[in-house]
A and B are shown apart, each in its own frame.
Chain A
Amino acid sequence: MTNTEIREFIENAIQENKVMLFMKGTPDAPACGFSARAAGCLNSLGVKYAALDILPDPRIREELSGLSGWPTIPQLFVDGELLGGSDIVLEMYESGELAEALGVEAPQDPAPVEEPPPVQQPIGLENRLG
């Protein structure tokens, strides 16, 4: 794939999926604590989301950050707009704003989401969209 094709793939993913998470690893096997935290917030709200592992090719991250202007992973897009990275997602989860932005009911008492472990876990090779 050329860089342009990767960029177009990313743009399409953002446009076609109401809730699109770019992360290290997968929701089942996150490869970084920050990605795990963002996925955990979405999981506990029970929303359907698409996730793309950025690790298989370094150009995915380069192109993603190039178009979003956001340097770190994860990145959560809702309705085609960047909502935030892991800190913003967690803050909005805890305040109920994330549920509001996603159009789901906010839990009365949001389940705590684990703080990320500082050391990166082994990289999962599986890459999936869905």
Chain B
Amino acid sequence: MPSAHELKERIETALPGSRVSVEDLTGGGDHFRAEVESDRFTGLSRIQQHKLIYDVFGDEVGGAIHALSIKTSTPSGGTGR
């Protein structure tokens, strides 16, 4: 069962230099919320930003990770569109 800490490390590894916080919403290891700030998001639509995060976990989203809520931002503060 993945932990919030494990998810955070995997996002940070995939997106070097990003600021990540991950919360386990239920304590059950299957519903998470991730907030990610990365300059990789600059110029990307929200869809593309969220896909970068989903891609870190592949098939685990919807499987072991039942739900992953995502909030993305860039260091300049924009959320893109």
Query: Residues of A with Cβ closer than 8 Å to B?
Result: 34, 65, 69-72, 82-88, 91-92, 97, 118-119
Give B25's nearest chain A residue, CB to CB: A118
Q: Bound state CA distance, A119 and B79, in angstroms?
A: 29
Interface string of B23-34 (1 = CB under 8 A from A): 001101001000
Interface size bracket, B side:
10 to 19
Q: Bound state CA distance, A83 and B15, in angstroms?
A: 23
Main SS at interface, chain A = mixed
Main SS at interface, chain B = mixed
Q: Which of A72, A118, A119 contacts B68 (CB 8 A)?
A: A72
CB-based contact B51/A70 at 8 Å: yes
CB-based contact A84/B31 at 8 Å: no
In this complex, the member of A34, A71, A83 whose beta carbon has the largest number of chain B beta carbons within 10 angstroms is A71
CB-based contact A84/B54 at 8 Å: no
Q: Which of B26, B59, B61, B69 contacts A87 (CB 8 A)?
A: B69
CB-based contact A71/B62 at 8 Å: yes
- Residues of B with C-beta under 8 A to A83: 47
Given contacts A85-B50, A88-B50, contact A97 B81 (CB under 8 A): yes
CB-based contact B47/A84 at 8 Å: yes
Give A92's nearest chain B residue, CB to CB: B46
A82: shortest Cβ distance to chain B, in Å?
6
Q: Bound state CA distance, A92 and B46, in angstroms?
A: 10
CB-based contact A91/B54 at 8 Å: no
- Residues of B with C-beta under 8 A to A118: 25-26, 28, 31, 67
Q: Bound state CA distance, A87 and B51, in angstroms?
A: 12
Q: Bound state CA distance, A91 and B35, in angstroms?
A: 13
Q: Bound state CA distance, A82 and B54, in angstroms?
A: 15
